Amino acid sequence: MSGAVLAERPAAPPLDQALHARVLALRDGLLHGLIGADIMVERLLIGLLTGGHLLIEGAPGLAKTRAVKRLSDGLDGSFARIQCTPDLMPADLTGTTVWRQDAGDFEFLPGPLFHSLVLVDEVNRAPPKVQSALLEAMAEGQITVSGHTHGLPDPFMVVATQNPIEHAGTFPLPEAQLDRFLLHVVVEMPDEAAERRILDLVEGELNHHAEAMPVKLSVAEIRAAREAALAVYVAPALKDYLVRLVAGTRTDSAAPDLRAAIEHPASPRGTLALMLAGKARAYLRGRDHVVPEDIADLAADALAHRIGLTWRAAAEGRTARGIIRDLVQRVRAL
Ligand SMILES: Nc1ncnc2c1ncn2[C@@H]1O[C@H](COP(=O)(O)OP(=O)(O)O)[C@@H](O)[C@H]1O
Ligand SMILES: [Mg+2]
């Protein structure tokens, strides 16, 4: 099948070049202060463009916090950071209702979740009740405190970070809650060349001022960029590919040996997440249509956290990411 088939479609609105340039300026500003972090940066922007939430996993000191702070510098919305600890309570995130003696009424004091960009650092150190309050807010865009429902801002994006090393006092996120994250991004250690550049960059920042972000996207621009990303075309043949890929986690259709390693397959929420993320990736690359590479590149980040392996597969040292990557190798794209 030719590339033309992927792009052929009914008349589409032309790309707003000025807006696209602003989004790319945001990306370049992020990349400028985050050495060798191309994947993390792209994923953050995909989250922003789809309205999806991100889980970023990596060892301490890999610039996860820095990346989200930098993103907040490039956005004209409010930002909050929540540092998770085992004694955190749901109300510390959601806010509380207090009695106002003078007014003779209850007043709701919103918690840190009521911001456009919320960094939830070390989410696996928060106790389960806090995690479930967080994930409910992420899923519903609203919070219910003392019987009253409060809408969260729009845009509302959560970036949660977690440490892969299992310390005492961590609470791994339950699988059903992991499903609420659009993407699960894994950050790796930098190579020597990148590490060398990090030294120069941070030394420069310590001596002078850190370079400010070149743009600040307004809420209206974020909404418009979201609409543009959503309008990116997905050819019918590519939707078939998406379905074939996810079906490979459920049935023996594609790779029976890989399927056999999977205890819980990915749900349609996973298929949708992969399609939407693929659209945003295409938009970032200036395309008006998705290509198979968009899907293949994002499959592990969109699907691996939504599947559960059998105990046997886990005992054999297989990982969900590895299984999804193998599946991508084995499922034909077109
Ligand atoms: N890839 C990178 N680019 C720029 N600075 C980095 C990078 N990796 C680490 N650093 C620096 O290392 C420190 C730790 O970053 P931080 O965001 O606090 O890490 P994390 O949140 O992942 O634990 C910061 O001073 C940051 O500037
Ligand atoms: Mg951190």
* pLDDT value for 78: 93
* pLDDT value for 167: 60
Q: Do the beta carbons of residue 268 and residue 258 sit within 8 Å?
A: no
Q: Do the beta carbons of residue 108 and residue 91 sit within 8 Å?
A: no
Q: What is 17-219's CATH topology?
A: Rossmann fold (3.40.50)
Tokens encoding 23: 């989004």
* pLDDT value for 165: 66
Q: How far is the CA of 48 from the centre of ligand 1 (A)?
A: 21
* pLDDT value for 168: 62
Atom of ligand 1 nearest to the CA of 66: 17
Task: Report how far apart, in Å, the C-alpha atoms of 251 and of each of 236, 265, 275, 307 are.
Answer: 22, 9, 20, 13
Atom of ligand 1 nearest to the CA of 67: 17
* pLDDT value for 166: 64
Q: How far is the CA of 34 from the centre of ligand 1 (A)?
A: 8
* pLDDT value for 222: 97
* pLDDT value for 254: 85
Q: Where are the domains of the chain?
A: 17-219, 232-330
* pLDDT value for 291: 97
With a cut of 50, which residues of the chain have pLDDT below it?
none
Around ligand 1, the residues with Cβ closer than 6 Å are 34-37, 58, 60-66, 190, 198, 201-202
Encode burial over 100-110: b for 16+ CB neighbours within 10 A, e otherwise.
Answer: eeeeeeeebee
| CATH superfamily membership of 232-330 | Magnesium chelatase subunit I, C-Terminal domain (1.10.8.80)
* pLDDT value for 235: 96
CA angle 302, 306, 311 (to 5 degrees): 135
